[in-house]
Each structure stands twice: as C-alpha cells, then as structure tokens.
Amino acid sequence: MKDLIDKLVGALPFFGRRLVALLPAPKSAVLALDLESDSALEEAFTFVAVCFGIAFLAQIPFFFGKENREVLFGILAVQSALAFALNVVLAVVVWKVVGGRLAWKKVVAATCYFSGVSTLLFLFFSLVGAGAFKVLDGVGYQQVMSGNATDAAALSASSGFRIFLIFLGLGFVATYVWIFCVWGAYRELMQVSKGRSTVALILFVLLSPVLFLVQMAMSATLAQSGGPALPDDLLGQWQLVQQSDSEGVHSARSVLYTFSPPRWKMMRAGEYFLTDIHGSSNGKCLITTMKQEFGQVSVQGSTMDLMPARRTETKKDQCAGVTVEAATDLSKTEYHYKIDQEPSGWTLCLNDRFGQTCLTPKKH
C-alpha cells in the first residue's frame, strides 16, 4: 500500500497539469497532445492509473471488514482494466460502424484521459451521496453497503438512502454529459462528419448498459476464481446449549449461529445470523436476555470477522413485569476460529479476548 501511495504522489504533478487542462476544454486539450509520440501511451496510462488509484484510496473508509487491501486493490485493478478495455472496444466498434478511420494508439490514449476524468466525476458524486447516507442513517447505510438490507420499506422511508440514490443518479448524468463533451475529440480523430458522429454517440449510449452487464459478469467470474467466500465446512447452523443450577436458580443458554454463502457470487463475504438467549428462573418467574444480530462474515485463514448490519438486545423480566428492547452498537467482532472434525462429531470453536465458545452442528 505504501508503494502505491508513493507512486501516486510522484505522478501527481503530471496528473494535475493534465487534469487542469482537460476539465475546462477536454476536446482541445486532447487534440493538442501529440498522440503519435513514443511517450503518448505511457503518459495516458499514467493519467488513468492515477485516477483509478485515487478512486481506490478514496473508497477505503467505506470498505467493511478487515480486508487485505493489497489483494483488494489487485482485484479492483483487474476489474478497472477490464472495464477500460471494454470501453475502448465499444468506442472502436461504434466508430467502425459509421465508417471512422481507426487509429488505435490515438483512440486508446484519448480514452485513457476521458475515462480517468469520468471515473473521478462519478467518484465525487458517489462519495458525497454515501457520506450523506452514513450521516443521516447510519444503520441503513451499513445494511446497504454490507449487502444485508432486508427491510425495503425502511429503506424507502430513509432520507439518507434517497439522497444516496439521487447522488448516484447525478453521477451517471455527469458521466454522460462528460461523454457528450468529449465526443467531438473522437470525431476529429476518426475524421467523420457530425452526422455520423451523432449516430456513433447514440450507438455508444444505447450499448453502454450492455457493456455494464458484461463487466458485471466478468467481475463475478473473477471473484469466483478466488474460491468460495466461506469454507464449505463452516456453512450451516452451529449451536451451543448450556444448563446449570445454583442456589435454587436454574439457568440456561442457547446460542445459534447460521452461516450462509453470499447472495451474489461476486461478493467476497458471506452472511451470518446469531441468536443468543440466556434465561434464569427461581421457580416463580423467568428473566431472559435475547441478543440477535445479522450481517456479513468474512474469513481469512483462521480469522473470522463478523460485521453486523443490525444488532438488538431484548430483556424480559417477568418478576418485575418489564420488557426492554434496544439496538446496540454495530462494532465488528473478530474471532480466531477452528473446526475440529473428530470421528465423534465436529466442533466449531470461536476465540476472542473474552475466552472460547465451542459449538456443534445443529441436528435437523
């Protein structure tokens, strides 16, 4: 990560000069460059790489869990490269259809500059929207960003979520406005008339959603190539049941974990549900405490991270006739876990700073 930051810092002066020239007049700025020079592609790739690097670093505070950021950056870099390549191919195809004179080196270089700026434009709107969502509705934000939003009614009523969607929409609008502004540069490079350029632009806009779906499919394939998000032997339900008697008080505890694979294969975290019930009775009345939570679970080696999207605690005291329910903090829980597969049965042991909890598979 430090090497990445050092390289970005070293390229910032060049990047800043090009960005300042591109924003007010993208067409003239690109056409003024010598796109046939030996260094043209190197400079263009440097520019787009800095844009992608800035986008990655800016999103780090929004990542959930304790991901290996170098690995995550590698995955995102490959996905960005695929997206860029698909954009180049689409641009070439639509211009070829209208009879454009292709100059691959110029097209690739120009697309580097235009794609880099569009990435930053969309990043700006998405980060502003995500920040507003997080401030206005922290719980809903965590549920959406972790992929565990289950209450559609609550989300539709969330002002933070609506603002988030509005800014995402503005990001898409800004991206297409930018494409419209830079299209004239492609027309000059392809040496076609304004009429044919308009047809090419319409084709590009119409085919962009298809390109997005192809990119998503390729991203899903890339994610699956890294193996399952959760080990197969962890999936399913694990339970712990304890009972004890002391000084006339009977106590019981029931813990049930449910681990499931991610809803979408491209995601690198699965889902978990936890119900932890503790009760005690003196023979006259019952006092129970029930903790429930659900969220994302990620596994790296022997480390398991539980990232709750919602966590509640309900206390019922029949002796006093009082019931209290409250949402608790959504801090992440980290365990060192181990599954022992003994002939007598399997055992899942979770270790943290408070001690060890061992569970067995739930019998159905």
Are residues 260 and 111 part of one domain? no
Digit-coded pLDDT (tens) for 298-355: 888 888 988 888 889 999 988 888 888 887 777 788 999 999 988 888 999 999 988 9
| Lowest mean pLDDT segment, chosen from 147-161, 172-186, 216-230 | 216-230
Are residues 275 and 173 part of one domain? no
Digit-coded pLDDT (tens) for 70-84: 666 666 777 778 888
Q: What is the pLDDT of residue 129?
A: 93
Q: What is the pLDDT of residue 8?
A: 74
Are residues 330 and 266 part of one domain? yes
Q: pLDDT band for position 143 (50/70/90)? A: low
Percent of the chain with pLDDT over 90: 40
Are residues 244 and 210 part of one domain? no
The pTM score is 0.66
Q: Where among 194, 224, 254 does a domain terminate? A: 224
Average pLDDT over every residue of 56-60: 79
Is residue 195's pLDDT more than 50? yes
Identify the helix (H) or strand (E) that includes residue 312: strand 303-317
**What is the extent of the structural domain holding 323?**
232-361
Are residues 213 and 66 part of one domain? yes
Average pLDDT over every residue of 61-74: 58
Number of helical H runs and strand E runs in the chain: 9, 9
Are residues 319 and 185 part of one domain? no
Rounded Cα distance, 357 and 238, in Å: 11
Is residue 187's pLDDT more than 80? yes
Rg of the chain in Å (alpha carbons): 27
Q: Where among 224, 253, 287 does a domain terminate? A: 224
Asked if 26 contacts 117 with a C-beta cutoff of 8 angstroms, the reply is yes
**Helix, strand, coil distribution of the chain in percent, nearest 5:** 50, 25, 20
Give me the number of domains the chain comprises. 2
Q: Where among 176, 199, 224 does a domain terminate? A: 224
Rounded Cα distance, 108 and 260, in Å: 43
Is residue 96's pLDDT more than 70? yes
Are residues 247 and 300 part of one domain? yes
Average pLDDT over every residue of 146-163: 73
Are residues 265 and 216 part of one domain? no
User: Burial level of 52, CB count in 10 A (0-12/13-18/19+)?
Assistant: buried
Average pLDDT over every residue of 103-132: 91
Are residues 74 and 180 part of one domain? yes
Q: How far is CA 286 from CA 11, 258, 278, 279, in A?
A: 67, 27, 11, 7
Are residues 249 and 187 part of one domain? no
Are residues 136 and 9 part of one domain? yes
Q: What is the pLDDT of residue 214?
A: 73
Asked if 109 contacts 35 with a C-beta cutoff of 8 angstroms, the reply is yes
- Mean pLDDT for all residues in the chain: 84
Are residues 357 and 242 part of one domain? yes
Digit-coded pLDDT (tens) for 208-260: 888 777 766 665 555 555 556 788 899 999 999 999 888 888 899 999 999 99
Helical packing angle, 104-136 and 40-59, nearest 10°: 10
Average pLDDT over every residue of 120-141: 88
Helical packing angle, 2-22 and 40-59, nearest 10°: 110
Is residue 361's pLDDT more than 50? yes
Asked if 223 contacts 75 with a C-beta cutoff of 8 angstroms, the reply is yes
